């Protein structure tokens, strides 16, 4: 038992060192390389994709480890984005006093700040709301669904239905949140600097890396102990978990809420790096894309969620530049390849095949317990002795 525990600690320590080393490289080496190659705009893209990777970690937490397939995570992503955008819309430019009145409200003839906006005058409230608002919505939705033991494809359909309801609501609120036009953040100010300035975007890039590492640590912590074992047990055999005395509803609601909170953080970071948030973030296709990222990387691995997000989005960026009319075909072919050839994603393939390739290269053979026992000459001798004794007796 102690040996296993020490081995797990060593593995987690090595993983922590690797994650920190990669994060430092992303902060120091990667931007310099891209700038030297004349691809400085890709630093901004990388920041956005790493924000999306935070949402993908949440998807992997509920789908890869718990077996809950959500096709409506764009809702929580958008809630986080709108929360931060509303705060930024109220921030005055340098030299101005008081709060800024959103321009679109003036265009629609609104003279008083709507009650929904007033709490977002505060940065601490906004910071909490980015995480807490999606978490609460997910907890309520999850409790109503999971307590009735709804799961599988029915849960996926319900998440899409909730997504459509919120999408239509946000689209119709022209005088409250600018409806289909959404809220722009690139011309807003924070701490006296315009959000689209190189300095602010660089700071957001570093912040995204830090929060991605923290999100990874939280997800690894949740999946490494007994809580993680229960999530896997719920995924593999939920009735047996219930039979042993645990209530799967509590764990499913909790992990669904955590996943939504991560999506809210991702939405806020993506919004301020892309410059706008619209109801388009609640499009069903976008929520399905999140699932594709995790599937490509390898669900149930966490590393695969991050890797899949970066690979798929950079592939889309590069291929859409060269072949803008055919990217969707590439994306469909990639997903079909994962489903048919790499069902465990890139990371799953790596774990399965690379050790075997190393053994073949080094000339070592994999130990096989049962065949070696059957062919062991010492065991054959003992069996013969026992058989002779029985025949003599």
Q: What confidence tier does 169 reach under pLDDT thresholds 50, 70, 90?
A: very high
Question: DSSP letters along 45-75, please?
Answer: HHHHHHHHHHHHHHHIIIIITT----S-THH
Averaged pLDDT for residues 122-134: 96
Check whether residue 44 and residue 30 sit in a common domain: no
The 10s digit of each residue's pLDDT in 233-279 is 999 989 899 988 889 999 999 999 999 999 999 999 999 999 999 99
Question: What's the mean pLDDT in 122-129?
Answer: 95
Instruction: Say yes or no: 202 and 101 in one domain.
Output: yes
Provide the pLDDT confidence category of residue 36 given band limits of 50, 70 and 90: confident
Please provide the average confidence, as pLDDT, over all residues in the chain: 87
Structural domains in the chain (count) = 2
- pLDDT of 5 reads 67
Predicted confidence at residue 308, as pLDDT, reads 92
Tell me the C-alpha distance between 188 and 192, whole Å. Answer: 10
Judgement on whether residues 76 and 203 belong to the same structural domain of the protein: yes
- Average pLDDT rounded to a whole number, residues 10-22: 87
Span 307-320, pLDDT tens digits? 999 999 988 888 88
Give 74's contacts (C-beta < 8 A, 6+ positions apart): 163, 281, 282, 283, 284, 286, 287, 290
345-362 and 303-322 helices, crossing angle to 10°: 100
Do 81 and 272 form a contact (C-beta atoms < 8 A)?
no
**Which one-letter DSSP state was computed for residue 88?**
H
Same domain assignment for residues 26 and 113: no
Quick one: 17 and 92 in the same domain? no
**Domain range for 279:** 40-392
pLDDT at 338: 77
Name which residue leads in pLDDT, 20 or 383. 20
Domain match, 28 and 106 both? no
Q: Please give the average per-residue pLDDT across 200-204, as a whole number.
A: 93
Q: How far is Cα 303 from Cα 309, in angstroms, rounded to an integer?
A: 10
> Residue 124: which pLDDT band, with cuts at 50, 70 and 90?
very high
What angle, rounded to 10 degrees, do the helices at 198-224 and 41-59 form?
Answer: 20
Pairwise CA distance, residues 329 & 86, whole Å: 36
324 lies in the same domain as 188: yes
| Whole-number Å distance between alpha carbons of 5 and 15 | 15
pLDDT at 372 over 50: no
Q: Give the pLDDT of residue 290.
A: 94
Prediction pTM value: 0.88
DSSP 100: P
Cβ pair 269, 211 in contact under 8 A: yes
The pLDDT assigned to 33 comes to 87
> What percentage of the chain has pLDDT greater than the value 70?
90
Q: What is the pLDDT of residue 45?
A: 92
Shared-domain flag, residues 299 and 164: yes
Q: CA angle at residue 117 from 112 to 122, to 5 degrees?
A: 120
Verify that 217 and 311 share a domain, yes or no: yes
Q: Would you say 311 and 289 are in contact if contact means Cβ atoms under 8 Å apart?
A: no
Whole-Å CA distances, 104 to 126, 179, 196: 21, 10, 20
Same domain, 254 and 375: yes
Instruction: Examine the pLDDT at 130 and tell me if it is beyond 80.
Output: yes
Residues 156 and 23 in one domain: no
pLDDT at 363: 64
Residues 29 and 170 in one domain: no
């Amino acid at each position: 038992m102690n040996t296993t525990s020490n081995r797990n600690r060593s593995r987690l320590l090595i993983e922590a060192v690797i994650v920190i080393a990669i994060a430092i490289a992303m902060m120091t080496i990667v931007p310099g390389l891209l700038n030297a190659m004349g691809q400085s705009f890709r630093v901004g893209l990388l920041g956005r994709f790493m924000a999306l990777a935070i949402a993908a970690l949440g998807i992997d937490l509920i789908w890869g480890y718990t077996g809950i397939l959500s096709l409506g995570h764009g809702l929580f992503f958008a809630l986080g984005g709108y929360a931060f955008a509303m705060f930024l819309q109220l921030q005055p430019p340098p030299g101005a006093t008081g709060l800024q009145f959103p321009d679109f409200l003036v265009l629609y003839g609104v003279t008083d700040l709507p009650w929904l906006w007033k709490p977002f005058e505060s940065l601490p409230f906004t910071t909490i709301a980015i995480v807490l608002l999606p978490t609460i919505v997910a907890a309520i939705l999850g409790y109503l669904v999971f307590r009735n033991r709804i799961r599988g494809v029915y849960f996926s359909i319900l998440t899409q239905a909730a997504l459509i309801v919120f999408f239509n609501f946000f689209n119709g609120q022209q005088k409250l949140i600018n409806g289909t036009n959404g809220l722009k953040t690139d011309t807003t100010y924070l701490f006296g600097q315009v959000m689209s300035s190189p300095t602010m975007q660089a700071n957001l890039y570093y912040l995204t890396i830090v929060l991605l590492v923290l999100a990874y640590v939280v997800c690894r912590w949740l999946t490494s102990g007994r809580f993680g074992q229960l999530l896997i047990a719920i995924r593999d055999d939920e009735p047996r978990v219930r039979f042993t005395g645990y209530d799967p509803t509590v764990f499913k609601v909790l992990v669904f809420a955590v996943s939504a909170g991560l999506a809210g953080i991702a939405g806020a970071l993506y919004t301020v790096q892309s410059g706008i948030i619209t109801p388009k973030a609640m499009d069903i296709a976008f929520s399905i894309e999140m699932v594709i990222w995790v599937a490509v990387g390898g669900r149930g691995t966490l590393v695969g969620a991050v890797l899949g997000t970066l690979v798929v989005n950079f592939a889309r960026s590069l291929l859409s530049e060269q072949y803008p009319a055919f990217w969707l075909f590439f994306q469909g072919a990639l997903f079909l390849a994962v489903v048919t050839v790499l069902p465990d994603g890139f990371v799953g393939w790596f774990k399965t095949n690379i050790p075997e390739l190393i053994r073949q290269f080094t000339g070592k053979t994999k130990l096989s317990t049962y065949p070696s026992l059957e062919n062991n000459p010492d065991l054959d001798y003992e069996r013969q002795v026992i058989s002779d004794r029985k025949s003599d007796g």
